[in-house]
Structure 1
Amino acid sequence: MSDQDNGRAGRTPGDPHADEHKMRFLYTLRSRGVTDQRVLDAMERIDRGAFVRGHFEDRSYEDTPLPIGCGQTISQPSVVGLMTQALEVGPRDTVLEVGTGSGYQAAVLSLLCRRVLTVDRHRRLVNEAEALFRQLGLTNITARVADGSRGLPEQAPFDRIMVTAAAEDPPGPLLSQLKIGGIMVLPVGQSDAVQTLIRVTRTAEGFRYDELRQVRFVPLVEGLGQT
């Protein structure tokens, strides 16, 4: 892993092109619909390069998903920004993230809320993400190995829930763990087809569903992984 000590969206601390990389990165986010200044500030501070490993490191700042191991991917930055923006995270919120993956999304969320609980079915990914969180000084993230489709009922209810893997329908356990007034953002649809990113808002009368855009994510799988 390289560039892990650099907490901003440049290449390395001594990179003469760091400012150019950062400006281009932020321009791409804005041009693709990420306009919330708090989200942009958080994504400027969290260096995506710290979360991309191996020979894909040179592509860290491209707006594209990249492999990270265990058959998973790190989402493209514009999708991370749009999902975070849609979640409307407040500084006092507790957020559940389903699908830790590289840890990049949780790191961005951690700058916007009081606490992030993130779960993944792959122990290897959780361990690697935890190490990065410690290195970056992100002390308000708790990462656990768990079946994300079941959420964390012992910690519920949550102000916000983000799911970074696609289910055919919003999982019932996650809906039940959302506070009244809470928001969940997740992709839904068949894993081998184009999916739809939706925002679910829980009201006193039930749930409101808003379609946001088409996306493509790895499937949400029940149970724990082998690694």
Structure 2
Amino acid sequence: MERDREDLAAFILRMRSRESLPVRLFEAIEQVPRRLFVPKGIANVYADQSFPLPCGETMPSAARVVSAVAALKVQPDSRILEIGTGSGYATALLGRLGARVVSLDRYRTLVDEARERLSSLGLVNVTLVPEDGSEGYGPGAPYDRILINGAIEAVPRAFLDQMASPGILVCAVGPAEGEQVLTRHHKAGSRFETELLASVRTQALKPGVAAVL
């Protein structure tokens, strides 16, 4: 759609003015049609706002997703774990950037719908699993990069144990209600360093696998 092309161009200009992002990430943004992932009837899919998803979940704005993905500093050989597949938009960007992506979501409905979208884009390096991601996912470890799409009060030890060294984990840390801080955790050997990146507001990460949805 012509409107989408114009909105994408404007979005890329906004992101370039806000952050210094790698060329590979901009290429991934252009290759992944966000329209495929948002609810029907949205005029500007790159608007700086969140959108509703099935199962009571929320899809972050494109700017929020891109900023979180950029913070991971994904390399072409990166093995990535994503917690909270949602619509699959961030998953698609990660699939364009890294070597292997394992993405978990507690809602099978979201996993099935995201799988169809990612398959239509020909992304064969992405594995989607309907699974509780509150303690990571041991079968695919170790991971060079971990992205948690949901707020947590503290990073569980399991995630740090599943990280390769060197490795990076990005997540929002803070209370379920109110403001959180987007943080980047670096692992180097037995050392962990934490960077505070930005204030955010996001849904809390929910434990367990949904019984029905």
TM-score tier by shorter-chain length is over 0.9
The residue that corresponds to 2:209 in the other structure is 224
Query: CA–CA distance in 2 between the matches of 1:18 and 1:126?
Result: 25
Q: Is the 8 A contact 1:34 1:78 kept in 2?
A: no
The residue that corresponds to 1:27 in the other structure is 13
Q: Superposition pairs for residues 1-227 of structure 1, below 5 Å?
A: 12=1, 15=2, 17-33=3-19, 35-55=21-41, 57-225=42-210, 226-227=212-213
Unpaired segments of 5 or more residues in structure 1?
1-11
Q: Shift of residue 33 of structure 1?
A: 1.9
Secondary structure of 2:154 counterpart: coil
CA RMSD of aligned residues (A): 1.3
Q: Percent identity?
A: 35
Amino acid at match of 1:173: A
Query: CA–CA distance in 2 between the matches of 1:169 and 1:88?
Result: 22
Q: Shift of residue 31 of structure 1?
A: 2.6
Query: CA–CA distance in 1 between the matches of 2:5 and 2:94?
Result: 23
Amino acid at match of 1:43: I
Name the count of aligned residue pairs: 212
Query: CA–CA distance in 2 between the matches of 1:69 and 1:32?
Result: 31
Unpaired segments of 5 or more residues in structure 2?
none
Query: CA–CA distance in 1 between the matches of 2:104 and 2:5?
Result: 33
Q: What's the TM-score once normalised by structure 2's chain length?
A: 0.95
Q: Is the 8 A contact 1:197 1:213 kept in 2?
A: yes
Q: What's the TM-score once normalised by structure 1's chain length?
A: 0.89
Structure 1 runs of 4+ aligned residues shifted over 6 Å read none
Deviations 1:115-155 (A, max 9, x none): 11000000000000000011111111100001111211111
Query: CA–CA distance in 2 between the matches of 1:18 and 1:186?
Result: 29
